[in-house]
Every structure is written in structure tokens, then in C-alpha cells.
């Protein structure tokens, strides 16, 4: 398999075990320079070591992705070690106290408000922190891939995991909206710069900084009861 990832810089969150670890190994085997992030530094370093011992390029970096300052540090260390981030995999999504069984999965009616925060902080703020810390560079460079691991729970809902289900559905909403925003900017970028159509720096910058003044939001679709669809 050649996914054309040679020397691409990939950051995978929560890659110290489980799904993220496997993603990191596959990306490294495809030639990517991989940053293995985890809440636990020793886990991140162990996976990075596993990759480098088999000939791949990897670095383990501890950071709590629920904290924007730590995520900024993670991305800065990545740029210093390998260069700007080409691929972000938002994988961390199971809060540590839940994974360790300290906080039980329960029906919402039996849940505690302090437990809701764990899911919202990790799945929603974690996503926002990570994407916000790479998106400016990706738009400037006109290159970047962002992959987010959700769950069937986010699509259909899962009992005992109501807040997790909602948070995963939120990630899907974030992703769809971001894709449209970035596509909007990308679509306005001149595709070819020839002698007849020279590089237009003003248009180029405007297209990167936000929707142009003539941008018109799409008309909301109506439901059968007449209310706009959200
Ligand atoms: N395992 C499944 O059956 C399953 C099913 C559907 C979706 N998923 C999704 O796949 C992803 C990975 O799941 P998994 O089962 O491999 O998880 P896991 O709990 O086995 O491992 C995830 C890693 O994330 C790390 N982590 C937790 N909080 C963190 C934080 N704040 N900052 C950085 N790292 C943090 C943990 O230390 C852990 O090493 C999640 O998004 C999960 O929702 C998993």
C-alpha cells in the first residue's frame, strides 16, 4: 500500500494505546513522521520507541488535549522536530477516569453533572483545541488532513453513554461545518497563475482570512412543519 505519506507530519492524539497506537504504526509504516501524543508520557514514548525500532520516524509527546496551552506546546514541539503538521488524527475520546473504571457508565438519570464535563472536555474541547492549533497553518499552506474518530454512539446514540454519544455527534457537526468553511476559502483561491491570470495577492489573502463580502449563507431548508432545519 502506498498512501503517499512519505515524510508527511502526522499528530495522533491519545495514541499511547488502543486505536490510536495502531493508527500511529500504520502511518509510520507508510513513511509519515509520527507524533504519538498521550496523557501519559511513558505510553507515548513506548509507542514511539516501538515505531523507531522498526525503522519508522516517531516522537512521543505528553500533553493533555483538554488544555489549549498544552496542545499549543504539543504542536510547537512537533514543528520543531519534524515541521508543520500535515495530518491531525483526533483520536483521544475515552476520558481516563472512565477508562480506569473510576467513573461508571450510567443512564443519564443516574449520572452526576461532574461526569458530563469529562466527555465534553475531551471530545469537544479536545477537538477544538487540536484543530484550532493546526488549522491556521494548514489554511496558509493550503494543505492539511484532519481525521476524527467518532463512534456509532454518535450516530445512533447509546444507552449508558448519553453524554459521550452527544459529544461524538458534536464532533461530526464540527467536522461538517469546518469542511464547508475551509472549502469556501479554498474555492475562492485562484487555481492557476499564468501570464494571463497573474498571482493576485489581495485575492489570495482575502480568501485565506475569511468569507468574502459577497458570501451569502445558504437559505435554510424547511421541514414539513415550516421550521427551518437546524
Ligand atoms: N475501543 C472501542 O471499542 C471504540 C469504539 C468506537 C469508537 N472508539 C473511539 O476510538 C478512539 C480511541 O479509543 P480507544 O478505545 O483506543 O481508547 P483508549 O482509552 O484505549 O486509549 C486512548 C488513549 O487516550 C489517552 N487519553 C485520554 N485522555 C487524554 C487526554 N486528555 N489527552 C491526551 N490523551 C488522552 C489515554 O491515556 C489512552 O492512552 C476514541 O475516540 C473512542 O471514542 C473506540
The number of the ligand 1 atom at minimal distance from the alpha carbon of 21 is 16
Residues 171-202: pLDDT tens digits? 999 999 999 999 877 655 444 445 555 544 44
Arch. (CATH architecture) of 9-228: 3-Layer(aba) Sandwich (3.40)
Q: Cα separation of 100 and 28, whole Å?
A: 28
Is residue 77 very low, low, confident or very high in pLDDT (cuts 50, 70, 90)? Answer: very high
For the entire predicted model, the pTM comes to 0.85
Q: Angle, nearest 10°, between helix axes 162-187 and 126-141? A: 10
Domains in the chain: boundaries: 9-228
pLDDT of residue 183: 81
Contacts 24+ apart (CB under 8 A), 153-159: 159/107
Among protein residues, the one whose CA lies closest to atom 38 of ligand 1: 14
Q: Average pLDDT of 40-51?
A: 98
3-state secondary structure of 161: coil
- Show Cβ contacts of residue 128 under 8 Å, excluding neighbours closer than 6 positions: 174
Q: Average pLDDT of 67-94?
A: 98
Give the distance (Å) from ligand 1 centre to CA of residue 192.
42
18 lines ligand 1 (CB under 6 A): yes
State the sign of the Cα–Cα–Cα–Cα dihedral 216, 217, 218, 223: negative
Across-strand partners of 228?
222
- 125 part of the active site: no
- From 47, 88, 93, give the residue whose CB has the most ligand 1 atoms within 8 Å, as the site to mutate: 93
Give the distance (Å) from ligand 1 centre to CA of residue 38.
10
166 lines ligand 1 (CB under 6 A): no
Lowest-pLDDT range of 56-60, 139-143, 188-192: 188-192
Q: How far is CA 209 from CA 52, 70, 122, 197, 200, in A?
A: 39, 26, 28, 21, 15
Is residue 1 very low, low, confident or very high in pLDDT (cuts 50, 70, 90)? Answer: confident
Q: Cα separation of 57 and 205, whole Å?
A: 34
pLDDT of residue 224: 53
Contacts 24+ apart (CB under 8 A), 49-54: 50/25, 51/24, 51/25
Amino acid at each position: 500500500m502506498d498512501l503517499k505519506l512519505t515524510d508527511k507530519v502526522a499528530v495522533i492524539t491519545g495514541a499511547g494505546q488502543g486505536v490510536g497506537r495502531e493508527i500511529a504504526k500504520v502511518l509510520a509504516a507508510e513513511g509519515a513522521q509520527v507524533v504519538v501524543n498521550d496523557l501519559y508520557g511513558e505510553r507515548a514514548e513506548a509507542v514511539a520507541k516501538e515505531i523507531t525500532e522498526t525503522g519508522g520516524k516517531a516522537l512521543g509527546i505528553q500533553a493533555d488535549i483538554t488544555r489549549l496551552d498544552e496542545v499549543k506546546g504539543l504542536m510547537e514541539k512537533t514543528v520543531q522536530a519534524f515541521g508543520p503538521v500535515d495530518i491531525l488524527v483526533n483520536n483521544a475520546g475515552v476520558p481516563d477516569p472512565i477508562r480506569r473504571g473510576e467513573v461508571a457508565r450510567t443512564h443519564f438519570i443516574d449520572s452526576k453533572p461532574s461526569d458530563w464535563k469529562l466527555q465534553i472536555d475531551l471530545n469537544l474541547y479536545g477537538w477544538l483545541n487540536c484543530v484550532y492549533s493546526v488549522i491556521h497553518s494548514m489554511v496558509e499552506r493550503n494543505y492539511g488532513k484532519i481525521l476524527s474518530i467518532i463512534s456509532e454512539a454518535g450516530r445512533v446514540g447509546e444507552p449508558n453513554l448519553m453524554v459521550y454519544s452527544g459529544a461524538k455527534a458534536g464532533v461530526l457537526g464540527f467536522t461538517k461545518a469546518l469542511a464547508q468553511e475551509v472549502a469556501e476559502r479554498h474555492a475562492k483561491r485562484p487555481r492557476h497563475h499564468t501570464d494571463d491570470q497573474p498571482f493576485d495577492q489581495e485575492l489570495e489573502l482575502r480568501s485565506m482570512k475569511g468569507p468574502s463580502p459577497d458570501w451569502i449563507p445558504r437559505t435554510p431548508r424547511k421541514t414539513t412543519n415550516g421550521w427551518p432545519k437546524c
